[in-house]
Amino acid sequence: MNDKQLVAIEAAKHVENGMLVGLGTGSTADLFIEELARRMKEDKLKCKVVSSSAASARKAGDLGLQLMEMADISHLDLYVDGADEVTPDLTLLKGRGADLVKEKLLAKAAGQFFVLIDQSKLVSRIGEKYPIPVEVPPFSWQLVKHGLENAGGKVVLRKKDDQPAVSSHGSWILDVTFEPRLDAATLDDLLNSTPGVVEHGIFRGLARGVFMAENGSVTQRWA
Ligand code: 5RP
């Protein structure tokens, strides 16, 4: 069993009958979906799920999980997702999968948000390993790019097969770096107050628990 499977199994132990569970996006979130499906079959666990992306919805549907539409919910019990970077104060960088709007909506609306990582995701500051993903409607990308460049950022439109990468609901993604690096609070405020940004990858004050696998064992950190 690999480290990502270990944290997925540990997080799935927290799911109880009757819960509405949010499904994240990415390879670790996929393993959590698989473990949830196993528990539903073998332990007769009864829960409903809501997905953060078309990919997770497809996976959940294929495994027979009972999917709710996001438009039909106003609260969920638990949201479980991976992350690209995690700092000691449990600030996260997310968004390599390009579905930030739904991910942050679910993380914020959930009673609890659990983050599943391996040790390679730990950083001392946000932006250490990856640029900050910034989700924009296609019509605003040039203006947002210009605005963030004026604020000192280097901005690259994310591409897939030579075309702009598109999120589940039609946004494009700008990958932004600042040199010298800005702290997460300053970046968060800057991106929150930039018109035309629909969402970005800094998740501050949202994670309740981080499950981290390291050499075959799982440690938990709680906010
Ligand atoms: C998607 C994300 C993912 O959770 C993040 O990229 C981690 O992915 P993985 O579990 O595959 O390492 O933020 O937008």
Task: Tell me if 11 sits within 8 A of 114, measured CB to CB.
Answer: yes
- Residue to probe by mutation, ligand 1, list 30, 52, 84, most atoms within 8 Å of CB: 84
Domain presence at residue 222: no
Same domain, residue pair 7 and 88: yes
Do 161 and 112 sit in the same domain of this protein?
no
Note whether 115 and 83 are within 8 A (CB). yes
Q: What range does the domain containing 144 cover?
A: 132-200
**In sequence order, what DSSP letters do the residues of 150-181 get, joined into one string?**
HTTEEEEE-EETTEE-B-TTS-EEEEEEESSP
Give dist(CA 10, CA 14) in Å, integer: 8
User: Is there a catalytic annotation at residue 42?
Assistant: no
pLDDT score recorded for residue 102: 95
Rg (CA), the chain: 17
> Are both 35 and 72 inside the same structural domain?
yes
Q: Is the pTM of this model over 0.85?
A: yes
User: In tens digits, what is the pLDDT along the chain, a chain of 223 residues?
Assistant: 899 999 999 999 999 999 999 999 999 999 999 999 999 999 999 999 999 999 999 999 999 999 999 999 999 999 999 999 999 999 999 988 788 999 999 999 999 999 999 999 999 999 999 999 999 999 999 999 999 999 999 999 999 999 999 998 899 999 999 988 899 999 999 999 999 999 999 999 999 999 999 889 999 999 9
Nearest to 174 by CA among 161, 156, 191: 156
> How confident is the model at residue 209, as a pLDDT?
97
How many other CB atoms sit within 10 Å of the CB of residue 186?
Answer: 11
Ligand 1 pocket mutation pick from 2, 3, 28, 134 by most atoms within 8 angstroms of CB: 28
Write out the DSSP string of 87-144.
-TT--EE--TTS-HHHHHHHHHHEEEEEEEEEGGGB-SSTTSSSPEEEEE-GGGHHHH
Of the candidates 10, 35, 85, 103, the residue annotated as catalytic is 103
Cβ–Cβ under 8 Å, residues 134 and 174: yes
What lies within 8 Å, CB to CB, of 170 at 6+ separation is 137, 138
> Would residue 223 count as lying in a domain?
no
- Please state the domain count of the chain: 2
Q: Are residues 47 and 60 in the same domain?
A: yes
Query: Residue 145 CB: number of other CB atoms within 10 A?
Result: 19
Using CB distances shorter than 6 Å, the residues near ligand 1 are: 24-29, 81-84, 94-97, 99, 103
User: Are residue 77 and residue 119 in the same domain, yes or no?
Assistant: yes
Whether the CB-CB separation of 93 and 132 falls below 8 Å is answered with yes
Cα of 51 from ligand 1 centre, angstroms: 14
| CA-wise closest residue to 102 among 30, 20, 198 | 198
Q: Residue 111: its pLDDT value, please? A: 98
The per-residue pLDDT for 168 is: 84
**Hey, whose CA ends up nearest to atom 4 of ligand 1?**
82
